[in-house]
Amino acid sequence: MSVLSLADVYRARRRIAGRVCHTPLIESQSLSEKAGTAVFLKLETVQPTGSFKLRGATNALARLAEQGCRKVVTASTGNHGRAVAHAARALGIEATVCMSALVPANKVQAVRALGAQARIVGKSQDEAEHEALRLVPEEGFAYVPPFDDLHVIAGQATIGLEIVEALPDVANIVVPLSGGGLFAGIAFAAKSANRAIGLIGVTMARGAAMHASLAAGQPVLVEEFETLADSLGGGIGLENRYTYALTRDLIDDTVLLSEASIARGIAHAYRHERLVVEGAAAVGIAALLDGVLPAERIKRGPLVLVVTGANIDMDLHRQIVDTASPQADSHTIL
């Protein structure tokens, strides 16, 4: 029996209503032509904080506010911290966000601009998390995990509800894979509607903690590297309570991508979809362009790529668009 229930997801949807966008699901002509099947983009890029993370953070903080909480701390690779800062400001809660030195400066600045305190600690997500957890007993904070929390997962699961309601015949959903909060939530909601829906996780080749943990059969530590998909960095926690098991039980395939592939995905999104996306958001597009999504699954019917965020440094984005090879844009995949 799952630790998460559909009732949890529907409660999350009611709790975040009016605070979070119901995001568009649009068909991509260019990607549909390449895949030989209808390809849709779920655009979490339009959220007020530019990322899906606002869903889980808002659900978790709104619940804490109901309990009288007035001070929270979290660890983040950037987008979760921004979401916590946004939700905290709206709810009148004090927020502190711990981040590593690998978090891009634009994401740190965005957290501070929303009124939260940003603490830069160490060179990995794990070090930032240790600092956040230290503050819980020492300074009386409530901790808001970036992914391994049922209320965060339930908030992200509302994306899955929106997908299956808008596209009941969806055959496959491609989800960026990191700590597993997004993947577990979407997969749970989608497979609760139709167990036959395929769930494919996509991540970068270097430092992919959930992929390594699934291969090992248990949560493991991985070295964290700089990557264009910076939002997918960090460990899943050796004491992972929820997202590892949920992801293990619900995932159908995992795909790893090179940095060059991620860059091509970012460039394609801009050139062909008129979308500015960060590296983590481009991995589904990149996997489709590279032809590495399982062909037997793709041929089954409509495919949804979850486009998770737009929070890329614009100087870096310009450089990628100017230099990324368009070679992957020029061939048919299937």
- Beta strands 39-43; 25-27: pairing state: antiparallel
Give the chain's radius of gyration (CA, Å).
Answer: 18
Global pTM value: 0.94
Asked if pLDDT for residue 331 goes beyond 90, the answer is no
Under CATH, which architecture does the 53-143 domain have? 3-Layer(aba) Sandwich (3.40)
Which pLDDT tens digit goes with each residue over 33-80?
A: 999 999 999 999 999 999 999 999 999 999 999 999 999 999 998 999
Q: What pLDDT is attached to residue 1? A: 44
DSSP string across 64-116? HHHTT--EEEEE-SSHHHHHHHHHHHHHT-EEEEEE-TTS-HHHHHHHHHTT-
| Overall average pLDDT of the 10-27 stretch | 97
Q: What pLDDT is attached to residue 246? A: 98
CATH code for residues 6-52+150-330: 3.40.50.1100
Domain locations along the chain? 6-52+150-330, 53-143
Query: How far is residue 268's CA from residue 321's CA, in Å, rounded to a whole number?
Result: 8
Query: How far is residue 187's CA from residue 159's CA, in Å, rounded to a whole number?
Result: 10
Asked if pLDDT for residue 15 goes beyond 70, the answer is yes
Cβ neighbourhood burial of 134 (10 Å; 0-12, 13-18, 19+): middle
- Compute the Cα dihedral for 62, 189, 125, 232 and give only its sign: negative
- Compute the Cα dihedral for 181, 168, 29, 293 and give only its sign: positive
Task: For tokens 């690998």, name the residue.
Answer: 102
Assess whether the region 6-52+150-330 and the region 53-143 belong to the same CATH fold: yes
Choice among 19-33, 44-58, 123-137, 301-315 with the minimum mean pLDDT: 123-137
Q: What pLDDT is attached to residue 326? A: 63
Q: What pLDDT is attached to residue 324? A: 82
**Strand pairing partners for 309?**
51
Query: How far is residue 155's CA from residue 135's CA, in Å, rounded to a whole number?
Result: 25
| Overall average pLDDT of the 113-135 stretch | 93
